[in-house]
């Protein structure tokens, strides 16, 4: 009897598929387990977290939205201008590692609230920095990155604990839609405030007000403690009726591991490692586009003679508005399309998730390369191919996170997300803005100063992004070879 009971419990535990349905779609016929549908409170929590994510990414993309103004105000070269976003991202990724450790062990609501308050306050303070203190402005962006890391690391784990299976994929997709929406709003907010007030500093005084509202909603509407949903926790109510009182799974024992043990386990997880490297290549391209694309478009138009070169403090911000709109539209559509494609195709193929990511990156790399090549002659075609490039680039966001959540055991989720953030940003968007700017500087130094070479230097620098996009697709293809075995191991 005990052997049959143990076998049944194992089936029930392995039946908790974190995001991917079994290939044959079979279920255990022995027991029908009823699950409580998510409460209205759970959807309210997701709404609050999404609003915070909107502010988080709006804050992060204010600087790229008015990069021309900031570059002229502080008198920065392309290399130093790219370093500005590198400082933000570097602090963000290093802090993510700390918050991943804290998020797996301490109250997540308190950490989220403290981070939100901190980065909103620093953003407001940075709006009063004068042109003679550009190093202080660099420092402020690094501090904003630290606050933002607390949110990006911990908020997805709360959603993962509130929902199961396909519902969780949907909720994560909604949460990650606010990455492109927030990013696009950051561009448009920055450009709009700079244009309407004639002073770009006002762009840094809007999101702190929104951050105060988000903090209030977090305090009032998000429960102080949200149970961490591990496989053993999910089986407790079942095992209470199947097993005797002294035969329940030892949840506390299975959850007690050191941080070093968690890291060693994650490094041995091939699906986690390969998908993280794929995401790293994605963030490299995303960081370069986010930082430099509005400036690149302005230089392309200057070469065509449709806009004058930016030689004064108040620069033309129309490209930031257009690029922000493209980011919102294509990013939202890409995330929704990616999640829906994964939901449908994973029923037929357990490797669907990494294959979708790989194909989308190959297409994105091609579109971005074409956009760069036609920029000097046809700006409309450039916008069109950039839109398609961003569309297929955005397909990956929710899917990669979902891959992590079902190939990594739940008690290591925050640590896994933190490590993924560290690696992907260290080698991705922390590096790419500076690398693109440094290459551009080197090309300009070898040629006579001119509008033509100002554009050419950025165009040639950007070509590296197309090749990195192809590399991302290769890593996702490699993930498909390991994903089935790692998923089964995580379920056990």
Per CATH, 38-227 and 259-491 having the same topology is answered yes
Choice among 24-33, 106-115, 128-137, 322-331 with the minimum mean pLDDT: 24-33
Task: Provide the residue ranges of all domains of the chain, joining segments of one domain with +.
Answer: 38-227, 259-491
- Give the mean pLDDT of 203-213: 90
Q: Please report, to the nearest 10 degrees, the dihedral formed by the alpha carbons of residues 396, 397, 402, 403 taken in order.
A: 50
Identify the three-state secondary structure at position 416. Answer: helix
Q: What is the pLDDT of residues 166-184, one digit of tens each?
A: 677 778 778 878 888 888 8
Q: Which residues of 436-450 are buried (b: 16+ CB within 10 A; e: fewer)?
A: bbbbbbebbeeeeee
Q: pTM higher than 0.75, yes or no?
A: no
Helix (H) or strand (E) run with residue 269 in it: none
**Average pLDDT value for the chain:** 80
How many secondary structure helices (H) and strands (E) does the chain include? 21, 0
Res 61: pLDDT: 85
Whether pLDDT at 13 is above 50:
no
Residues with Cβ within 8 Å of residue 260, at least 6 apart in sequence: none
Is residue 464 very low, low, confident or very high in pLDDT (cuts 50, 70, 90)?
Answer: very high
Nearest partner of 293 among 469, 465, 421, 165, judged by Cα: 465
Whether pLDDT at 238 is above 50:
no
Domain 38-227, what fold?
Growth Hormone; Chain: A; (1.20.1250)
Q: What is the pLDDT of residues 241-284, one digit of tens each?
A: 333 333 344 444 445 678 788 888 899 999 999 999 999 999 99
Is residue 23 very low, low, confident or very high in pLDDT (cuts 50, 70, 90)?
Answer: very low
CATH class as words, domain 259-491:
mainly alpha
How many angstroms separate the CA atoms of 118 and 6, rounded?
49
How many angstroms separate the CA atoms of 12 and 313, rounded?
64
Is residue 200 very low, low, confident or very high in pLDDT (cuts 50, 70, 90)?
Answer: confident
- Give the mean pLDDT of 353-368: 95
Whether pLDDT at 482 is above 50:
yes
How many angstroms separate the CA atoms of 204 and 209, rounded?
10
| Contact (CB, 8 A) for 431 and 86 | yes
Whether pLDDT at 165 is above 80:
no
- Give the mean pLDDT of 11-18: 36
Whether pLDDT at 142 is above 60:
yes
| Contact (CB, 8 A) for 45 and 227 | no
């Amino acid at each position: 009897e005990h052997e049959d009971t143990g076998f049944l419990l194992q089936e029930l535990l392995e039946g908790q598929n974190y995001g991917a349905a079994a290939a044959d779609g079979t279920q255990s016929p022995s027991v029908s387990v009823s699950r409580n549908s998510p409460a209205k409170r759970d959807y309210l929590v997701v709404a609050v977290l999404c609003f915070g994510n909107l502010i988080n990414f709006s804050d992060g993309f204010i600087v790229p939205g008015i990069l021309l103004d900031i570059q002229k105000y502080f008198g920065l070269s392309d290399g130093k201008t790219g370093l500005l976003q590198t400082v933000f991202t570097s602090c963000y990724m290093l802090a993510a590692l700390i918050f991943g450790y804290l998020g797996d062990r301490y109250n997540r609501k308190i950490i989220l609230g403290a981070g939100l308050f901190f980065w909103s306050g620093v953003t407001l303070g940075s709006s009063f920095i004068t042109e003679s203190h550009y190093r202080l402005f660099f420092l402020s962006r690094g501090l904003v990155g630290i606050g933002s890391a607390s949110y990006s690391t911990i908020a997805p784990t709360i959603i993962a604990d509130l929902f199961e299976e396909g519902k969780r994929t949907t909720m994560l997709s909604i949460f990650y839609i606010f990455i492109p929406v927030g990013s696009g709003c950051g561009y448009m907010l920055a450009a709009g405030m700079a244009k309407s007030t004639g002073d770009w500093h006002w762009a840094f005084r809007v999101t702190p007000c929104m951050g105060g509202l988000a903090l209030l909603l977090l305090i009032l509407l998000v429960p102080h403690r949200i149970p961490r949903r591990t496989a053993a926790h999910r089986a407790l109510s079942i095992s209470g009726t199947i097993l005797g009182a002294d035969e329940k799974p030892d949840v506390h024992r299975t959850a007690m591991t050191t941080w070093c043990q968690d890291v060693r386990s994650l490094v041995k997880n091939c699906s986690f490692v390969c998908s993280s490297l794929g995401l790293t290549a994605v963030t490299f391209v995303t960081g370069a586009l986010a930082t430099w694309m509005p400036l690149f478009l302005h230089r392309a138009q200057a070469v065509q003679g449709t806009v004058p070169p930016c030689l004064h403090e108040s620069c033309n911000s129309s490209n930031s508005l257009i690029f922000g709109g493209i980011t919102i539209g294509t990013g939202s559509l890409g995330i929704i399309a990616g999640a829906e494609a994964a939901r449908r195709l994973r029923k037929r193929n357990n490797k669907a998730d990494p294959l979708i990511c790989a194909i989308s990156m190959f297409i994105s790399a091609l579109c971005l390369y074409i956009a760069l090549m036609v920029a000097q002659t046809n700006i409309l075609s450039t916008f069109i191919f950039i839109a398609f490039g961003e569309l297929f680039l955005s397909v990956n966001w929710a899917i990669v996170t979902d891959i992590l959540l079902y190939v990594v055991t739940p008690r290591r989720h925050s640590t896994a997300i933190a490590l993924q953030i560290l690696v992907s940003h260290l080698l991705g968007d922390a590096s790419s803005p500076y690398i693109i700017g440094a290459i551009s500087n080197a090309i300009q130094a070898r040629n006579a100063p001119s509008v033509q070479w100002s554009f050419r230097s950025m165009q040639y620098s950007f070509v590296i992004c197309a090749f990195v996009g192809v590399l991302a697709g290769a890593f996702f293809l490699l993930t498909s070879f390991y994903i089935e075995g790692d998923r089964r191991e995580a379920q056990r």
